[in-house]
Amino acid sequence: PEPSIYMSPRELSQRWQCSRSSVDRIARRNGFTRICLGDGENGMVRYLRVEVEALEAARTIRLESDRLSGGAA
């Protein structure tokens, strides 16, 4: 089965190995679409997987191969 198009804050917390409050802050600062299901404290929040993956791709830094080998060529 394909993964859901949504991700919960708990999933992101586990994926990024950070607190729920960090997930909320990162999501807010990066303008994630926030899907609110239900009302008040019992409501659920979900984020779009495509936005999460786009942020991860944009923030991924690949090291140059010569850096990995200590610069010896």
CA distance 53 to 70: 31
Mean pLDDT of 11-18: 98
In this structure, are residues 65 and 20 in contact, taking their beta carbons and an 8 Å threshold?
Answer: no
pLDDT for 70 equals: 61
pLDDT for 47 equals: 98
Mean pLDDT of the chain: 90
Mean pLDDT of 10-36: 97
pLDDT for 66 equals: 61
Q: Is 62 helix (H, G, I), strand (E, B) or coil?
A: coil
